[in-house]
Amino acid sequence: METLFSVLIGVFFSVAIYLMQSKYSVRILLGIAIFGNAVNLLLFTAGRITREIPPIILPGSDILPMTTANPLPQALILTAIVISFSFFCFLLVLTYRGYQELGTDNTDEMRLAEPKNEPLPPLGY
């Protein structure tokens, strides 16, 4: 199961990185959404995927037996999902607003903040 998930996470990461290399802001955004999910899956898998054995620390031991799923990464993912989801919402609105205001979704043409022909500082006076 973990092996399968590892391959899946690898696919997620490569798709995300491929999409984030695009010039178009919508594709970058899709890449970021997949990137966040890839990270969540990574944490989830790292904590072992099983539900058969309850996570109970046996008497005389300080740590969970190696056969149970570690609940802490799952708690971490819950936090991370909430955060990445809210950030994605913000980015979605920002990108749409950027498209409305700037009239393009091509990041090469978004040169409003950094104009192409900005003058050099004067060389003397």
Partner 1 sequence: MAAPTTAPIDLSAALVMAPTPLADWLVIAPMGLMIGLGAILVMVRHRLHLHGWIAIPGLVALVLLDAMLLWRVAQHGPFTMTAGRWLPPFGISFTADLLGALMALVSALVALAAGIYALRDIDSTGRRYGFFPLLMMLMAGVTGAFLTGDIFNLYVWFEILLISSFGLLILGSERQQIDGALKYAILNLMATTLFLISVGYLYAIFGTLNMADIARQADAHSGTAPLVTLSALFILAFAMKAAAFPVNFWLPASYHTPRVVVAALFGGLLTKVGVYALMRVMVMLFPLQREELSFVIAVSAALTMVVGALGALGQNDLRRMAGFAVIAGIGNVMAGVAIGGTAGVGGAILYALHSIIAMTALYLLVGEAARIGGSWSLQTLGGIYRQAPWITAAAFVIFLATAGLPPFSGLWPKIVLLKAALDIGAWWLSAAILISAFLLTIALGRVFLLAFWRPRPAEMAVAAPSSPEAWQRTAPLAGLVALLFFFGLFPEIPVSLSQGAAASLADPTAYIQSVFPTGGAE
Nearer to partner 1, 18 or 87 (CB): 87
What's the closest the beta carbon of residue 14 comes to partner 1, in angstroms? 15
Q: Which residues of 46-63 are buried (b: 16+ CB within 10 A; e: fewer)?
A: ebbeeeeeebeeeeeeee
Q: What is the DSSP letter of 45?
A: H
Distance CA 76, CA 71 (A): 9
Nearer to partner 1, 52 or 62 (CB): 62
Q: What is the DSSP letter of 22?
A: S
Q: Which residues bind partner 1 (CB under 8 A)?
A: 20, 25, 28, 32, 35-36, 39, 42-43, 46, 62-63, 72-73, 76, 79-80, 83-84, 86-87, 90-91, 94-95, 97-98, 101-102, 107, 110-114, 118-122, 125
Nearer to partner 1, 54 or 63 (CB): 63
Distance CA 85, CA 89 (A): 6
Nearer to partner 1, 54 or 117 (CB): 117
What's the closest the beta carbon of residue 51 comes to partner 1, in angstroms? 20
What's the closest the beta carbon of residue 48 comes to partner 1, in angstroms? 10
Query: Taken in order 12, 14, 19, 20, is the CA torsion positive or negative?
Result: positive
Q: C-alpha 13: how far from its chain's center?
A: 9
